Structure 1
């Protein structure tokens, strides 16, 4: 007997079931993307293992210390709030201020521009989170079309602060607009971690909306602990509160600096030496600019170039700049040729 069609045969799929199917497909695509990215990361991870063997650690450490000594006489002299920032970084790894206190030209304008870009990206960020993409930044197109945001990070005063803290000529790794969806999940950079790029580095976060305790503040464990250096090697991991407590001791919580503040708050921090995270946002999405700096020859250049801007994007944004600004953005061209051959990891 021929099967009779059921009522469901004539009913259009609901919007909810269609959305679920799209979500499943998006998650499968993201899983495949991560697998491919993992394969692309093999050269960088192999280089990291090689650079952390005892013989290479000794060589790299000696070269690093020699470079610091050679550059010492050329370090900029800082005054006022700029000197306070470097002192706090050396002592605590973090300093919180505001665009108003910094008084850098064009600051109000870049916040308004970046805030508009983040708002335009909001719906896409939420879609990407549903698809399993946990770390989201505004794509490079709007940033390339609005060079003021990128170029704010090249103010001479900011470069002087970075150089005085790093004790070496500076590289500028660009800017990203991070969008954190308020889903309360402790995933990706919302777990405790240290950044991979260099021995020391400087990140400058600029909040594009008010950020309170429930809004995903940047948090830094503001004390020295578990040395990562050329003597001991470099290891990287993500950790929950409980996992970090097992390593540092439960007392680490009293040393957490929670960087809360209104729109325009600015956070200077060393994300390579200090454990940090974006606390999971609960009540509202968090929007923030992140500017990145490290030594002109970073220890792990194959883990740099993390802003999402391509090399051609940065070349476009660097056109017409002063010599110092061009030099800090073109840092990769001064690397030893062997390091230039290793493609940057996706992580």
Structure 2
């Protein structure tokens, strides 16, 4: 088991922060970068996959609100039953282990990849079609992050308010692996219109924001929490929304998160320490489209 946050090296965090600061504050460079991105979207628009009404409705909701909360089964992904079985196999031992002093606990990579239907779920064509239409460009897929947030009421790491910095837009699907109530560490977010207003007033670029500052910036009662039973799914663009994992108090929270960005992200993510055997297993049998979605370090070699 891994009993710590997955982290980028200090040098990597500094480089990403500097890049974000430059692109935010140096107007000519921001215009140039945004222009290149819009050109990519324009060129890819004729190649966007067709969507059925349910897929199109989800994309529309993400564009308008940045988030949708519902049931995992509502996404109608063909391999979801296999995913649930694989997640139960991982979640059981994860819930039973002694966390020590850690606030976040993850399975080992061997445990995560023991059943590849878990990691590969995010490479299903139906999902990639949704993500690609929302991003407007081909997607990069970062895999599955299974984690246990320990109910210690500690406000650390992603339990603080922030926006993700990976890209201009991302798609994340967060799935509860146990029932989550208000004291069990639900995902919390500030609605999109209020997020944009708060970000402007805070002169926010990246990093964590103190809870008291966020509360002062938003209307009373506007913060929304995604409570729900096991297999509740939160589909969100965390690069657009101020959000956090509410510190769990009364019980632990078990979840899995799947993440997609564009293939030219704003932030350089360090790949997990997969072994050559791990990478061969992940790549085995993938289609050309699926291979193209892997980060370069995983797709090569």
- The residue correspondences of 1:112-261 to structure 2 (distance < 5 A) are 112-122=85-95, 124=97, 126-127=99-100, 130=101, 133-224=102-193, 225-226=195-196, 235-246=205-216, 249-251=217-219, 253-261=220-228
Q: TM-score under structure 2 normalisation? A: 0.85
Output one character per residue of 1:311-337: Cα deviation in whole Å (capped at 9) or x when no partner.
854453122111111110145689xxx
Q: Which moved more, 1:268-277 or 1:110-119?
A: 110-119
- What is residue 252 of structure 2 aligned with on the other side? 285
Give the gaps of 5 or more residues in structure 1.
1-29, 335-347
Shift of 1:155: 0.9
Give the gaps of 5 or more residues in structure 2.
none
- What is residue 318 of structure 1 aligned with on the other side? 283
- What is residue 7 of structure 1 aligned with on the other side? none
- What is residue 241 of structure 2 aligned with on the other side? 274
Distance in 2 (alpha carbons) for counterparts of 1:288 and 1:83: 26
Query: Is the contact made by 2:173 and 2:259 (CA closer than 8 Å) also made in structure 1?
Result: yes
Output one character per residue of 1:97-128: Cα deviation in whole Å (capped at 9) or x when no partner.
2133223223133223223313313355621x
- What is residue 3 of structure 1 aligned with on the other side? none
Distance in 1 (alpha carbons) for counterparts of 2:197 and 2:284: 40
- The residue correspondences of 1:51-70 to structure 2 (distance < 5 A) are 51-52=23-24, 53-70=26-43
Name the CA shift for 1:228/1:57 in 2 (closer, same or farther; >3 Å). farther
* Greater C-alpha radius of gyration: 1
Distance in 2 (alpha carbons) for counterparts of 1:234 and 1:61: 18
Query: Is the contact made by 1:94 and 1:220 (CA closer than 8 Å) also made in structure 2?
Result: no
- What is residue 327 of structure 1 aligned with on the other side? 292
Query: Is the contact made by 1:68 and 1:168 (CA closer than 8 Å) also made in structure 2?
Result: yes
SS in 1 for 2:56: helix
Equivalent position to 2:66, from 75, 93, 104: 93
Name the CA shift for 1:79/1:331 in 2 (closer, same or farther; >3 Å). farther
Query: Is the contact made by 1:135 and 1:189 (CA closer than 8 Å) also made in structure 2?
Result: no
Shift of 1:63: 0.3
Q: TM-score under structure 1 normalisation? A: 0.75
Shift of 1:140: 1.3
- What is residue 10 of structure 2 aligned with on the other side? 38
Query: Is the contact made by 2:198 and 2:218 (CA closer than 8 Å) also made in structure 1?
Result: no
Query: Is the contact made by 2:169 and 2:237 (CA closer than 8 Å) also made in structure 1?
Result: yes
Aligned length: 289
Query: Is the contact made by 1:223 and 1:255 (CA closer than 8 Å) also made in structure 2?
Result: no
Distance in 1 (alpha carbons) for counterparts of 2:170 and 2:221: 24
- What is residue 19 of structure 1 aligned with on the other side? none
Aligned residues: CA RMSD:
2.8
Distance in 1 (alpha carbons) for counterparts of 2:241 and 2:212: 17
SS in 2 for 1:215: coil
Shift of 1:228: 11
Query: Is the contact made by 1:110 and 1:152 (CA closer than 8 Å) also made in structure 2?
Result: yes
SS in 1 for 2:260: strand
Shift of 1:299: 1.9
Shift of 1:50: 4.6
